[in-house]
């Protein structure tokens, strides 16, 4: 039996979309391609590079600490997306599924997830600073702002999980 929209939950659909975004665009292959083949001085090149922000690596010349922090950031983006999709009330208060509030709640959850994932991973750096934490949180929120609309679209029409 095929799954239909009546079985789709907004948090589940948004989390799966976030996982796919991080797995595909955060992969070493895409990240390397974006670095080598795009121009950061163009809007398209900047956005293609931004997609690779929560990158993950399993083989790198970087230190183990840098690899773990990058991987942790990617993992936290997905986990925090799920958490914020459950916590944000836009979808819960909407009278009908598929409304604009559900879209914005999904989008906002990704903005918050990106910002908080960056902020939390900054704590694991060798010399964390408050300014560094603010800068990385801004990078994460920027990522969520320009990519989070995909999560917002994925959550449209989904129910809130438990009744």
pLDDT tens profile 52-87: 999 887 765 777 776 777 789 999 999 999 999 988
What is the per-residue pLDDT for 2? 46
- 133: enclosing H helix or E strand: helix 130-147
**pTM for the structure as a whole:** 0.84
Q: What percent of the chain has pLDDT over 90?
A: 56
Question: Measuring CA to CA, how many Å separate 44 from each of 54, 71, 110, 163?
Answer: 18, 25, 21, 42
What is the per-residue pLDDT for 136? 93
Q: Please state which of the ranges 57-61, 89-93, 148-152, 157-161 shows the lowest mean pLDDT.
A: 89-93
What is the per-residue pLDDT for 63? 73
Looking at the predicted structure, is the pLDDT value of residue 1 above 70? no
b/e map of 33-56 (b: 16 or more CB within 10 Å)? ebeeebeeeeeeeeebbbbbbbbb
- Of 81, 66, 107, the residue nearest 12 (C-alpha): 81
């Amino acid at each position: 039996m095929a799954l239909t929209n009546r079985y789709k939950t907004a948090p589940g659909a948004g989390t799966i979309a976030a996982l796919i975004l991080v797995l595909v665009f955060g992969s070493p292959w895409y990240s390397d391609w974006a670095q080598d083949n795009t121009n950061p001085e163009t809007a398209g090149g900047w956005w293609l590079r931004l997609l690779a922000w929560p990158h993950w690596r399993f083989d790198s010349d970087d230190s183990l600490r840098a690899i773990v922090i990058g991987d942790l950031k990617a993992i936290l983006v997905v986990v925090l997306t799920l958490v914020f999709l459950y916590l944000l009330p836009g979808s819960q208060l909407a009278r009908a599924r598929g409304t604009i509030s559900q879209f914005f709640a999904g989008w906002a959850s990704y903005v918050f997830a990106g910002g908080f994932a960056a902020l939390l991973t900054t704590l694991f750096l060798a010399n964390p600073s408050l300014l560094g934490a603010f800068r990385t949180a801004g990078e994460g929120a920027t990522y969520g702002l320009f990519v989070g609309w995909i999560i917002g679209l994925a959550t449209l029409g989904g129910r809130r999980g438990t009744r």
